[in-house]
Amino acid sequence: MALQSLVNQARVALPASFFPSLLHKDPNGRCCSSAPIPRITSHYTIYSRDKDPRWEGVDMQRFVDEADVVIVGGGPAGLSAAIRLKQLANRHEKELRVCVVEKASQIGAHTLSGACLEPSALEELFPDWKERGAPLNTPVMEDRFAILTEKYRIPVPMLPGLPMNNHGNYIVRLGHLVRWLGEQAEELGVELYPGYAAAEVLFNEDGSVKGIATNDVGIAKDGSPKDVFERGMELHAKVTLFGEGCHGHLAKQLYKQFNLREGCEPQTYAIGLKEVGLDYTNPYLSPFREFQRWKHHPSISPILEGGSRIAYGARALNEGGFQSVPKLTFPGGALIGCSPGFMNVPKIKGTHTAMKSGMLAAEAIFSKLTDENLQSETTGLHVPEYEQNLKKSWIWKELHAVRNIRPSFHSYLGLYGGMLYTGVFYWILRGKEPWTLKHCGLDSAQLKPAKQCTPIEYPKPDGKISFDLLSSVALSGTNHEHDQPAHLTLKDDGVPVACNLATYDGPEQRFCPAGVYEFIPLESGEGMRLQINAQNCVHCKTCDIKDPSQNINWVVPEGSGGPAYNGM
């Protein structure tokens, strides 16, 4: 199948109806009329198959199976939840069917983190983690914190009690730790299904979540069914846990469906390359090239000299903290891990809180499932106890204490204002001040129009410490079946050129760390079009987050596509 796709570079002949003419208004109210726009998106989430004549007569029935709990996402949160559920079930001698679906081809292949792990949650999950061989091999010896100017380095004292202090923590290859968690989970009887992505949330008639459906396979690039087309299957459960990591695509749907973000601030993000905050305003900024530039700083490059680049990857991470946590439960399911987002930003750690959230969810669900007097209003169980317990746990105390540190950097006093605030209110007062500062709003709304900003001249990569984008992407091992609809779907195919390019000079060609988005001249010679190189995608979710028109909707591609990280 893989070789087939390499050889058969299918050129699909698109009928004239694929080139709609568009007359519409852009966000500034100006009418943009355009010449025929080449059709970019063919995914069935945008163009429904019900009315598509190519799908007439195709059997759309799905195989159905039942479990007690289904977990979407085999990362630290999902696996911790699965393990905790089975630990409780075994201890109380109850039968519990727990299934984990994971889009990566193997557990850990889509895991990426700078990972300095605080082992607190792991200790709670497996007090004997050392004996079991958990790959925590590098304890932190020393911390160094500094501000980098263009050429110099101003060291900042690492006082004990500051959140950045890492005594007792370990540098880990999170992908390997996740793989180890997967092995522990399987030993306990969890059913792990890597290579199968949850593509759709299923609902009962009473509106509660019924479970998920995995992705269909065998759809061609133009959206038509191939010979090998097969429907995904439905996995039903009493409770479904969503642990898709930062900015999950099913979570995005659930926020709307159950109005979970009412009353909390919008999430703000960074991209881990590591780290460039995504609330930047200059559309000419390229996070990848900033990272390359950073490596050449006089205090950084000596550490890297003589080394060779063996891997590359990128992932968005959430930085909203306390203020941006949504409602966590809804009838039939709950959100765990970085999906709702429990990262302690100044500490730059979210793994321990993600794991703990998974464990708390498991404990609350187990109590409910084994309660003989349970009377549920809905077929899918609602477990509000999870959210209540989380708010009484150390996750909440921790996030509450550091909640004002990041927003304090956004005042007009900038970097030094933030440091001053942190010094006084966190280090001395431990975050007990009665007020809660706000963030600046959605990351996607922060970009200023291109004509108000200056293009940034980035230095050329030297091939030893800094590198070009495409050779880096090749190292991520990312690949997708090429003959499938692009999973980076556009709600409106005309918007990228009419709005993003026109107003913001096409920031997607810069913020994507995998070179997925390219603006290339139209064959006719006049104007540009957006080309989506979906095969390069490393599933970081930055485009879905930072697109100023919020027109890009990342959906899950065929399972087992994506990066092949090894211990990243």
List of residues contacting other proteins (CB under 8 A): 1-4, 7, 63, 65, 101, 105-106, 108-109, 175-176, 179, 193, 196, 214, 217-218, 227-228, 230, 232-233, 310, 474-475, 477-479, 564, 566-567
Catalytic residues: 113, 315, 351, 512, 537, 540, 543
Among the listed residues 534, 423, 439, the one whose alpha carbon sits nearest the alpha carbon of residue 163: 423
139 bridge partner residues? 170
> Which one, 197 or 486, has the nearer CB to other proteins?
197
> Which one, 2 or 16, has the nearer CB to other proteins?
2
Distances (CA, A) of 33 to 16, 229, 458, 520: 18, 38, 34, 19
For the CB of residue 193, give the shortest distance to other proteins in the complex, in Å: 6
> Which one, 119 or 562, has the nearer CB to other proteins?
562
Query: Which token pair is 331?
Result: 């009838």
Secondary structure (3-state) at 148: strand
Measured over the CA atoms of residue 70, residue 74, residue 78 and residue 80, the dihedral's sign is positive
Q: Quote the CA–CA distance of 292 and 295 in Å, as a whole number.
A: 5
- For residue 344, what are the contacts with CB-CB under 8 A and spacing of at least 6? 163, 321, 350, 353, 398, 399, 402
> Which one, 16 or 310, has the nearer CB to other proteins?
310
For the CB of residue 562, give the shortest distance to other proteins in the complex, in Å: 10
Q: Quote the CA–CA distance of 318 and 340 in Å, as a whole number.
A: 9
Measured over the CA atoms of residue 157, residue 160, residue 163 and residue 165, the dihedral's sign is positive
Burial level of 238, CB count in 10 A (0-12/13-18/19+)?
buried
Q: What HEC string does 336-403 produce?
A: CCCCCCCCECCCCECHHHHHHHHHHHHHHHHHHHCCCCCCCCCCCCCCHHHHHHHHHCHHHHHHHHCC
Distances (CA, A) of 100 to 71, 217, 341: 5, 19, 20
Q: Quote the CA–CA distance of 204 and 162 in Å, as a whole number.
A: 48
Among the listed residues 343, 337, 170, 336, the one whose alpha carbon sits nearest the alpha carbon of residue 272: 343
Q: Quote the CA–CA distance of 473 and 460 in Å, as a whole number.
A: 17
DSSP code per residue over 231-256: ---EEE-SEEEE---TT-HHHHHHHH
> Which one, 176 or 368, has the nearer CB to other proteins?
176
For the CB of residue 523, give the shortest distance to other proteins in the complex, in Å: 28
324 with 264: CB under 8 angstroms? yes
208 with 332: CB under 8 angstroms? yes
For the CB of residue 230, give the shortest distance to other proteins in the complex, in Å: 5
Q: Quote the CA–CA distance of 427 and 446 in Å, as a whole number.
A: 30
For the CB of residue 566, give the shortest distance to other proteins in the complex, in Å: 4
In the chain, the amino acid numbered 321 is G
For the CB of residue 540, give the shortest distance to other proteins in the complex, in Å: 18
| Rg of the chain, C-alpha, whole Å | 24
Secondary structure (3-state) at 290: helix
For the CB of residue 175, give the shortest distance to other proteins in the complex, in Å: 7
Query: Which token pair is 193?
Result: 């299904």
Among the listed residues 444, 541, 528, the one whose alpha carbon sits nearest the alpha carbon of residue 487: 541
For the CB of residue 246, give the shortest distance to other proteins in the complex, in Å: 22
For the CB of residue 443, give the shortest distance to other proteins in the complex, in Å: 31
In eight-state DSSP terms, residue 197 is -
For the CB of residue 471, give the shortest distance to other proteins in the complex, in Å: 10
* Contacts of the segment 46-49: beta carbons below 8 A, 24+ positions apart: 46/489, 46/490, 46/491, 46/553, 47/223, 49/223
Helices (H) and strands (E) counted in the chain, each on its own, are 17, 26
> Which one, 8 or 370, has the nearer CB to other proteins?
8
> Which one, 175 or 321, has the nearer CB to other proteins?
175
